[in-house]
Amino acid sequence: MNFRKAKQADAERCLEIYDAVSDWEAINGKQSGWERGYYPTMETVQQALDCDDLYVLEDELDDKSIVVACGRINHDQPYYYNYFSWQTSVLDSEALVLHTFAVDPKLQRRGYGKTFMGFYEKMALDKACKVLRLDTIILNQKSQAMYKKLGFKTL
């Protein structure tokens, strides 16, 4: 498996993953709150590429390298983070934040989410960040279960 910064050539594949999550939720019930054509969109992907903070996890499947997961990683803490009582107060530069993280629904339950999160953790250590932050909506029980299993605390 290879974790790396996304390239322009990955844009379509990242959007495919986001749309696949939206399609899966349309059938199986909303979890992320994402909606195809509304959010995330190609504009979301392109903005992350332009800011150079979109990352992908690729794996060899059927003798072909394919992006299996993607997410945006930066120091930007959304305004609503100010409403939480964080265990540790830090400057933006001391927090690494994961946004729009997704694993292709057809490829879930293969450890890709855990692997991506491991790279995310290592990146935080390499950048001397004091905390990792991410958010999901309350309905996203699948992601919350994985995050809890990986040691994240819920606020």
What is the residue-wise DSSP string for 69-85?
EEEEEES---GGGGGS-
**2 and 57 in contact (C-beta within 8 Å)?**
yes
As a whole number of angstroms, the longest Cα–Cα distance in the chain is 47
Alpha carbon distance 130, 128 (integer Å):
6
- pTM of the predicted protein model: 0.91
Residues 3-41: tens digit of each pLDDT: 999 999 999 999 999 999 999 888 877 777 788 999 999
pLDDT of 145 reads: 79
> Distance between CA 135 and CA 147 in Å, rounded?
10
- Alpha carbon distance, N-terminus to C-terminus of the chain: 32
Q: Please, are residues 113 and 146 in contact by the beta-carbon 8 Å criterion?
A: yes
Tell me which residue of 63, 61, 65, 54 sits closest to 2, measured CA to CA: 65
